[in-house]
Structure 1
Amino acid sequence: MSSTRTDDDARQGTPEGTTGADDQLTDPSPGELTDRAPAADEAPGAPLVLVLHGARGDLSRRSVYPALATLQRRRLLPQHWALLGTGREDMADDEFRAHVAASLEEFGHEGDDPEALTRHSVFCSEVGDDDPGTLPAALERVRGVLADAAGCDRDDVVVVHYLAIPPAAFEPLTRNLGRHGLTRGPDGRAETVRVVYEKPYGTDPDSFHRLDAVVHDALEERQVFRIDHFLGKEATQNLHVLRFANELFESVWCRDHVEQVQIDVPETLDVAQRAEFYDATGAALDMVVSHLFQVAAQVAMEPPKGMSIDNLVAAREAAIACFRPLDPADDVVLGQFEGYRDIEGVDDASTTDTFIAARLWVDNDRWRGVPFLLRTGKRMAASAQRVTLVLRRDPVRLFGDKVEAGLISLSLKGDGAIEVTTSIKKPGPELDLVPGTARLDLSDVEGAEPLSPYASLVHDVLVGDRTLFTTPEGLEEAWRAFAPMLGDARPDPLPYAPGSWGPAEADRLAEPHGWVVRG
């Protein structure tokens, strides 16, 4: 994109981003820096500068800007805050604000106020290896203006760096943030600077270790927030609440009563819009080692010692440590939809998987012998995001084999829903048993105001809550369990027709009940 900034501007240290910050933030009155005064019962948080690296990218457009707009509308942003976008190519502030507004127009929600976001937005050039760009100067000026408006010390302004950039850029940008003094506050404190990393956090154990070493060379662990948006879903968060707050469910949450756990995320979507990325990644790397493993851990974890951040994270990651490494020969089926290789940007001989079904075993006393069935893929017959516990049944007693397996199921799509399926008498003169399902949509709960996964996780970053974020220890164990899929034992993907449920060979993994999500 073109820029109105001149070379003289850059040489004189008065970059477009800094000039924009002056123009935008010189008036320290609340009217310039916020859309409202805090409610009487709402304690305003510390002033915030959100630095969005990759501000022109698809992730920012589709997810980050709508999340910020939701938080702004719901009064969950601090009273005094500003958004600094960065990029390798210059962009005028007005052009950046128009970009943000256009993103909300396309991907935002009813009630979003683009002006509420764009009046806080300025654009800066990205920090480089030797050239700090315009970001440090703009950041310091904005930090000072926000501190003046809030009547606090500039050292107390929180700065969040959100890395909405390609994973290959994580390492160099992290180094540069540290090199140019952007990983600490003005007084050297770490707690006022946070850095958000998107997935994938490494693409194999070696790249994970390299990235993690770079991150911890520049940052303390408490500053690091590794996003997995499946953990931000309302229904995923409800997994441990449903279980631990209700004896009805906790009493059956074990191998004595559960025959299978299914975590199923089929998608009808194609990959044409991001074929180059997808062909280098595939379904297994894109979904299993991150999203599906994390959700499996939410299901499998032992009761935590308490509901504190540390206790919940420790319980989830202790479950991952019990994951048996995947067995590619017996427990994994890969697929590739027919026509995938014809997509522009995909290698004609590509062996990338667009489908995976896997049987995961959790080797602890609670779950030993219970298969956790994971499935996801592109161009499938339907889209779903569902966690289902298939309950055991005893066909010998009373009703014999008329009793079907009961289900405890959570839909993770949208605002989420909880379903319980059990055998009931069919109304009528005969004693006929049929399955019946009771459903609770989480959006129907009285007073419910669900947040989107990204809005929920961004809010957690702003308040410093790391409950729903991954740690190096948990990722280490996830890579250990996934590692067999990275070697020569990885099975070849089998063809499947677009619009189907994937290769028929995947059905054997879900025997005897079959996949709950099916046509």
Structure 2
Amino acid sequence: MVSRVIPVDPFDLVIFGGTGDLARRKILPGLYNRYLAGQMPDEARIIGAARAELDEDGYRQMVAQSIEEFVPAQKRDAAVIDSFLQRVHYLRIDARGTDGWEDLARMIRKDVVQAFYFSVAPSLFGDLAERLHAHGISGPESRIVVEKPFGHDLKSARALNATLAAHFDESQIYRIDHYLGKETVQNLMAVRFANILFEPLWNARHVDHVQITVAETVGVGGRGQYYDQSGAMRDMVQNHLMQLLCLIAMEPPYRFDPDAVRDEKLKVIRALQPVRPDDIVRGQYRAGKGPDGTPQPSYLDDVGNPDSRTESFIAMRVEIANWRWKGTPFYLRTGKKLRARASEIAVVFKEVPHSIFGDDEGWRENVLSIRLQPNEGMTLSVMIKEPGPGGMRLTEVPLDMTFAEALGADGQDIPDAYERLIMDVIRGNQTLFMRGDEVEAAWAWTDPIIAGWEARGDRPRPYDPGSSGPEDALMLLHRDGRRWREIRE
């Protein structure tokens, strides 16, 4: 099956921070891919805006280098790249000053979709929003895209939302979480709500527990200063893992509509129970050796703070206080320098009430595994008879639901999450973007957890690079008679 490409309307997209790392790695290559696919019209324009001393030719050269570095070779077409670059422009702009704003006002067209991507530090969001209005650049139909972090706690999130709301309506604000743009995440909603098969089983009567894992093999790298002020809880759990939890646990919306979907996600966040201290395990990676035997620094070395109590790993047991999920635990886990790079949601169903085959036949629970990276797709483990004579021997096999043929061989034709989300911004579709009250509700649940371990003076448990995290994290499930799924690519 070949995916359909539906072109979007002509647009002007201004990328504030247009020379930054995110623009180079994700935004600009993603826009090129959409142009290559025929989704971006010839009338579209991309305007990089930054403080760098570049002219238009210099910026186009930077964009070309970005495509060369981050777009697969089989997708790089010299003629298409040249045509794409003709739609790329550059303005030198001072976010907190006056330079460049009048030039931008003259450049922006009023008869096309206007979108402004804030790929900058959150401290600049207010300045950008204020100047877009003060210079008459944005209008009631304009859209702004806001990158995380959406605040550092509830107080700062509320202040950030108030700053944006002073200049833009909520319907104009697109808070982007790239996890929601992944093809498999959206297929999760399709599998749940477009088929009768799973929804009758999607509750505490039939689901034993749910595991959500986002594991990385890299350390904090060059983000040490930022990360040491955030940690895994603020950097990953409060946003990425929370959104995945909501999509798994939410009730069916009355239709696939932005506010209908986000209303149901908000109900999940508000139903989260407070987390007890013994239901949380925090960790920091030690110094160790890489796969090639070279010495690797510890977390404390990476952040340059020998007294840091910030976690690079967190595992927690979460419960949802509603009729659908009462008594079903959700186990969340994320960390740096773990065994493999993998993101997975595993819905573990209960065992059959009575096995007619006896207790020694290698029985396993049915597990629906949703893999977000790498190798996006879904599998459902089921029990079948092992082929051959000699009695009824059971074995576990995966029922493949990766849709590989439909989505493109080896995932080469699957759009990157940023590609989909940016096109949704141009369409005006907010379904896969967070609403302001969602962000605040997530912080309202997260803040007391962080305040608790800070008040107790808890120190993260050390763990070895290349492991599955601290030993205490294994006990989090063992005491419930369960075990973590193996972290593997």
TM-score using structure 1 length: 0.84
Question: Which amino acid in the other structure matches residue 299 of structure 1?
Answer: I
Where does residue 98 of structure 2 map in the other structure? 132
Where does residue 399 of structure 2 map in the other structure? 438
Within the alignment, does 1:514 sit opposite 2:480 as a pair?
no
Distance change (3 Å), C-alpha of 1:414 and 1:120 = farther
Where does residue 436 of structure 2 map in the other structure? 472
Question: Which amino acid in the other structure matches residue 443 of structure 1?
Answer: A
- Match of 2:482, SS? coil
Within the alignment, does 1:158 sit opposite 2:113 as a pair?
yes
Q: Distance in 2 between matches of 1:446 and 1:47?
A: 27
Distance change (3 Å), C-alpha of 1:513 and 1:360 = same
Percentage of matched positions with identical amino acids: 34
Contact kept in structure 1, 2:7 and 2:39, CA below 8 Å: no
After TM superposition, the structure 1 = structure 2 runs for residues 497-508 of structure 1, keeping only pairs within 5 Å, are 497-508=464-475
- Match of 2:378, SS? strand
Where does residue 450 of structure 1 map in the other structure? 414
Q: Distance in 2 between matches of 1:300 and 1:290?
A: 15
Q: Distance in 1 between matches of 2:108 and 2:452?
A: 52
- Match of 2:306, SS? coil
Contact kept in structure 1, 2:250 and 2:265, CA below 8 Å: yes
After TM superposition, the structure 1 = structure 2 runs for residues 184-199 of structure 1, keeping only pairs within 5 Å, are 184=139, 190-191=140-141, 193-199=142-148
Where does residue 58 of structure 1 map in the other structure? 21
Where does residue 386 of structure 2 map in the other structure? 426
Contact kept in structure 1, 2:344 and 2:371, CA below 8 Å: yes
Shift of 1:173: 2.6
Q: Distance in 2 between matches of 1:461 and 1:174?
A: 17
Q: Distance in 2 between matches of 1:438 and 1:201?
A: 39
Contact kept in structure 1, 2:177 and 2:239, CA below 8 Å: yes
Where does residue 235 of structure 1 map in the other structure? 184
Within the alignment, does 1:331 sit opposite 2:331 as a pair?
no
- Match of 2:75, SS? coil
Q: Distance in 2 between matches of 1:507 and 1:65?
A: 41
Where does residue 217 of structure 1 map in the other structure? 166
Distance change (3 Å), C-alpha of 1:138 and 1:306 = closer
Where does residue 53 of structure 2 map in the other structure? 90
**Tell me, which stretches of 5 or more residues in structure 1 are unaligned?**
1-40, 144-154, 185-189
Q: Distance in 2 between matches of 1:106 and 1:343?
A: 30
Where does residue 263 of structure 2 map in the other structure? 314
Distance change (3 Å), C-alpha of 1:358 and 1:95 = same
- Match of 1:363, SS? coil
Comparing 314-323 with 445-454, greater Cα deviation is found at 445-454
Cα distance per residue 1:451-503 (max 9 Å; x no partner): 21010100100100000000011112111221223314344211000010000
Distance change (3 Å), C-alpha of 1:279 and 1:116 = farther
113, 123, 128: which one pairs with 1:168?
123
- Match of 1:296, SS? helix
Where does residue 5 of structure 1 map in the other structure? none
Distance change (3 Å), C-alpha of 1:394 and 1:353 = same
Where does residue 295 of structure 2 map in the other structure? none
305, 318, 324: which one pairs with 1:366?
324
349, 359, 369: which one pairs with 1:391?
349
Higher relative contact order (CA 8 A, sep 6+): 2
TM-score using structure 2 length: 0.89
Question: Which amino acid in the other structure matches residue 415 of structure 2?
Answer: L
Q: Distance in 2 between matches of 1:504 and 1:232?
A: 33
Contact kept in structure 1, 2:349 and 2:365, CA below 8 Å: yes
Q: Distance in 2 between matches of 1:280 and 1:358?
A: 20
Where does residue 298 of structure 1 map in the other structure? 247
Alignment RMSD: 2.1
Within the alignment, does 1:286 sit opposite 2:235 as a pair?
yes
Where does residue 114 of structure 1 map in the other structure? 81
Question: Which amino acid in the other structure matches residue 182 of structure 1?
Answer: I
- Match of 1:162, SS? strand
Q: Distance in 2 between matches of 1:136 and 1:365?
A: 56
Cα distance per residue 1:136-183 (max 9 Å; x no partner): 32442352xxxxxxxxxxx32221110111233223333333333333
Shift of 1:126: 2.1
Q: Distance in 1 between matches of 2:6 and 2:398?
A: 43
Q: Distance in 2 between matches of 1:467 and 1:515?
A: 32
Q: Distance in 2 between matches of 1:495 and 1:350?
A: 12
Cα distance per residue 1:356-388 (max 9 Å; x no partner): 111111111001111111111010011111111
Where does residue 340 of structure 2 map in the other structure? 382
Q: Distance in 2 between matches of 1:46 and 1:342?
A: 49
Contact kept in structure 2, 1:82 and 1:142, CA below 8 Å: no
Shift of 1:441: 2.2
Count residues with an aligned counterpart. Answer: 460
Shift of 1:395: 5.9
Distance change (3 Å), C-alpha of 1:43 and 1:496 = closer
- Match of 1:469, SS? coil
Within the alignment, does 1:72 sit opposite 2:6 as a pair?
no
Q: Distance in 2 between matches of 1:332 and 1:252?
A: 28
Cα distance per residue 1:307-348 (max 9 Å; x no partner): 223222222222222122333x12111100003345354312
Q: Distance in 2 between matches of 1:116 and 1:281?
A: 41
Q: Distance in 2 between matches of 1:128 and 1:59?
A: 18
- Match of 2:148, SS? coil
Contact kept in structure 2, 1:391 and 1:407, CA below 8 Å: yes
**Tell me, which stretches of 5 or more residues in structure 2 are unaligned?**
288-297
Shift of 1:76: 1.4
Contact kept in structure 2, 1:268 and 1:379, CA below 8 Å: yes
Comparing 495-504 with 271-280, greater Cα deviation is found at 271-280
Comparing 173-182 with 159-168, greater Cα deviation is found at 173-182
